[in-house]
Structure 1
């Protein structure tokens, strides 16, 4: 369920908020998920990382509506070029800030402050979503997933009702689910940026009187990158063998090193 965890959480939250009488409280219906299985797109199953160059980076920075100014710091040094800063809500909604609302530190390219415009609504937003350029080597992968959503009710009638209304909620909010199910992780100079490209309702089943199952087919596009540091591209320094001085032009093979 690794790459669809955000989608699962979004579906669970959506059902509880849209159908509270069915999915919250005593005797509520339950939404659970099967183990996610996936295949990589055969055209992208053997990706080759490109040469280092400008790539998109994304940071999710904690935001306090009561103290919006910051300052804030990007996790990586930005590449010269435009930067886009958005307010991000818990539901995944993005609202762009104007250029005049973001003040970049001239002494530190990765640091900035927020100066909200008059009338800017900040409540309900808990992150800043920042898109900017970095120098990185990257590639893309597509994965095709199958995921089963199981609705369990207290009895057959409640299970049927919860399933039918859940289907209505999911179908009518499919595009919002796709947007809110994107994810981004970074660590150790590497990053993975996932986007749901498609969300299809494939099939259903009734494994038991109080259970209904909906099979979802999901296509995820992954952008995988390795950020290029300041020392990338430097020539590797020679390590002299015992008995040889640094700077020697002669290449030797030490007898203790097996060939």
Structure 2
């Protein structure tokens, strides 16, 4: 069966990549490619919506897809646990059949890095995240860093991370109690380092994206799995069968 895909954010970097992948795949067909001037009703009739827009537009797209009962894959950054909880409530209100799949990062390597960091976090009390992206990325911290911090906090349970003093503003934004430092620089694609410190040692778990090809496998997997998924799913790990320590993936 061919899956009809609507891509919101079709003129952006990830949108253009998604359009190419849909065109090359035998089991995918482009239903619509939306830009900032398109009407949300252009999504109607699709089997799955891929949202790769920007934080200000993403929620409206997701809510429209939910109201229409269309499964949606959300690749836009800026979705914290609290905002996702709001979508869960909105979905219950409509008793919507279509799943909402939030994917902070479509890279399999990035997902594995987050899982390894969450596992290691149970053994270290001092943890900080440094993430770097290209200069054009408008949001910070990145969705990947937010997801990593939240999963680490879940894995640690009631054990707090040793955080900086309130007056140390240069030590990063606290996300789920974990300092996150964001860099936006020309010449970069995407990179994340989780640095864990203990007595007499540090452990660094790092992932670098050097080409958009890193996202291809994850985008295709999400588009193919979303029509059959149920409820609200958070993270590509849930589609890959990777267990995040302490995390609730739905």
Q: TM-score range, shorter-chain basis?
A: under 0.3
Q: Which has the higher strand share?
A: 1
Which structure has the larger Rg? Answer: 1
